[in-house]
Amino acid sequence: MAGPVTSAEPPLVEFRDLHKIYGAGESEVRALDGVDLTIRDGEFVAIMGPSGSGKSTCMNIIGCLDTPSDGHYFFRGVDVGSLTRDQRALLRRNYLGFVFQGFNLLKRTTALENVELPLIYRGLPRAERHKRARAALDAVGLADRAGHTSAELSGGQQQRVAIARAIASEPAVLLADEPTGNLDTQRSAEIMELLVALNREQNITIVMVTHEADMAAFANRSVIFRDGLIASDKAQSPRGRTHVY
Instruction: Report the C-alpha dihedral over residues 83, 56, 4, 233, rounded to 10 degrees.
Output: 170
pLDDT band at 125 (very low <50, low <70, confident <90, very high): very high
Q: Are 111 and 142 in contact (CB under 8 A)?
A: yes
121 in any annotated domain: yes
Return mean pLDDT, the chain. 92
> pLDDT > 90: what percent of the chain?
84
Number of neighbouring beta carbons within 10 Å of residue 189: 18
Report the pLDDT value the prediction gives residue 244, as an integer from 0 to 100: 39
In the predicted model, is pLDDT for residue 39 greater than 80?
A: yes
3 in any annotated domain: no
The number of folded domains in the chain is 1
5 in any annotated domain: no
> What CATH number is given to the structural domain containing 34?
3.40.50.300
User: Which amino acid, residue 91?
Assistant: L
Q: How many CA atoms lie within 13 A of 7 on its CB side?
A: 11
92 in any annotated domain: yes
Distance CA 39, CA 2 (A): 9
105 in any annotated domain: yes
3-state secondary structure of 22: strand
pTM of the full structure: 0.90
Find the domain containing 224 and state its range: 13-235
In the predicted model, is pLDDT for residue 243 greater than 70?
A: no
Distance CA 245, CA 230 (A): 35
37 in any annotated domain: yes
1 in any annotated domain: no
Mean pLDDT confidence for 103-110: 92
88 in any annotated domain: yes
Mean pLDDT confidence for 195-199: 95
Distance CA 73, CA 98 (A): 18
